[in-house]
Structure 1
Amino acid sequence: MTATVAASPVAAALADTAMAPLEAQGRLLNPVLKAATKKPGRVGFRGELALRFAPKLADEARPPELTCDQVIAIAEKGNSKLPFFAGYLLSFEHLKDVAEVLGEQLSAGGKYFLFCNNIDLLKKYQVAYNGAMFYVLPIDESTVYNELLELLYLEKSELKRLDTAGKTDAVADAALKFDVTFDNITYEEGLKLMGPVRNPNENRPV
């Protein structure tokens, strides 16, 4: 009789969701949340999404070369597509990496928000890529979470009493209803419009 290896609690929670392949590839990093939320059949993730891995040297684990940071996302049992994903990119050009990594987990009806550090602070765009539509928004000194609260008209004070899973549910539920339209541009047009990539360590105290 062959012994069966029990799945880890995280793997069990993400099983049969759009996050399972990402977890298997080792892309869901530094999680603040990677577990079931308060909604039945829903799992949430808050952390970093590895976009490009560094070459492996022997058994040495090296940090990824490129990540999408401050990710907030949900997935549902029995659904191979991500309904909602949001994250921070230092440069708009990495939208391509996000779209390619998420790949088959994207859907035409999903709500996907990318806050980019090198687009005009007064502009908001919609960019179709890989069969999905991305909302591309500016970000300066704030966080993805705070920017989403403002975009989705959620009161921070009302969410304070909730834990991380509850806050993720509240943001996701509001995001799934979001239907505002922005200027449609192509990825290639976005590359021409984006500004220089800022040094993320600039102006930080030593």
Structure 2
Amino acid sequence: MSIQEYIAENKLEWMNVFSGKTQSYAYAYRGCLVITEGKVISTDKSLPPKEIVKQVLLATNHDTIDFLACELTTINLFEGFVNKYKAYLTPEGKYLLFISDMNGKGKFVYEGITFYAYGLDESSVWNELVDFADLSKGDLKKMSDKEKIDAVCDEMKRTTLRISDKTYDEIKASQSEQGKLSFGAV
């Protein structure tokens, strides 16, 4: 079963912006992904998910995930996320985590898979990726949704991320109390 089939069959899409084929990828996805489902009320109705990863950008040409970037509102969601999707995470993939309650950054290996973790306080995953990839926001505005996904994912897969090696325990220890800052009307 491919990652696309797994997500669809288990109804793991949440507030998706894009799900489908692009010019560069057999499957790409933007939106949120469910970690823990909500309570099932009936065969066709359930409560919203209990836990999700936000601002997901996923792209692949295989049954597994080639590229993934997402926001974890807390590092406490990480292990649940990996358990839910570990069959589709590989040592060859590139996985970026933007964690709202983390100070600093670091590259770490968890269950043989490398993750790049960054604190996320005022920005969005998309804006961070555009900056990392050194893409022009003006050029991106002229593109379709599919073209934007291809441009960001293609460039991010080529980009060398210079980040210090840490252990998973060091990443967990960098958890802060504050979390992501919100601006504007509440």
Alignment of 1:112 with 2:95, yes or no, is: yes
Residue 55 of structure 2 corresponds to: 70
The range that moved more, 16-25 or 160-169, is: 16-25
Counterpart residue type for residue 85 of structure 1: L
Residue 16 of structure 2 corresponds to: 31
Aligned equivalents of 1:186, 1:57: Cα separation in 2: 41
Aligned equivalents of 1:30, 1:170: Cα separation in 2: 22
Distance 1:38 1:199, change over 3 A: closer
Aligned equivalents of 1:166, 1:203: Cα separation in 2: 30
Runs of 4+ in 1 over 6 A off after TM superposition: none
Q: Deviations over 1:119-169 (max 9, x none)?
A: 12xx22112123211110121221111010111211111111111111001
**Which residue, out of 160, 164, 170, partners 2:145?**
164
> Equivalent residue of 2:82, what SS?
helix
Aligned equivalents of 1:112, 1:62: Cα separation in 2: 29
Provide the aligned length of Structure 1 versus Structure 2.
185
Counterpart residue type for residue 127 of structure 2: N
TM-score, normalisation: structure 2: 0.90
Structure 1 gap segments, 5+ residues each:
1-15
RMSD after superposition: 1.9
Counterpart residue type for residue 51 of structure 2: L
Structure 2 gap segments, 5+ residues each:
none
Percent identity of paired positions between Structure 1 and Structure 2: 23
Aligned equivalents of 2:172, 2:49: Cα separation in 1: 23
**Which residue, out of 49, 62, 72, partners 2:33?**
49
Aligned equivalents of 2:125, 2:161: Cα separation in 1: 18
Q: Of the two, which has the highest radius of gyration?
A: 1
Residue 153 of structure 1 corresponds to: 134
TM-score, normalisation: structure 1: 0.82
Alignment of 1:100 with 2:83, yes or no, is: yes
Any conservation in 2 of the 1:99–1:130 contact (CA below 8 Å)?
A: no
The range that moved more, 126-135 or 165-174, is: 126-135
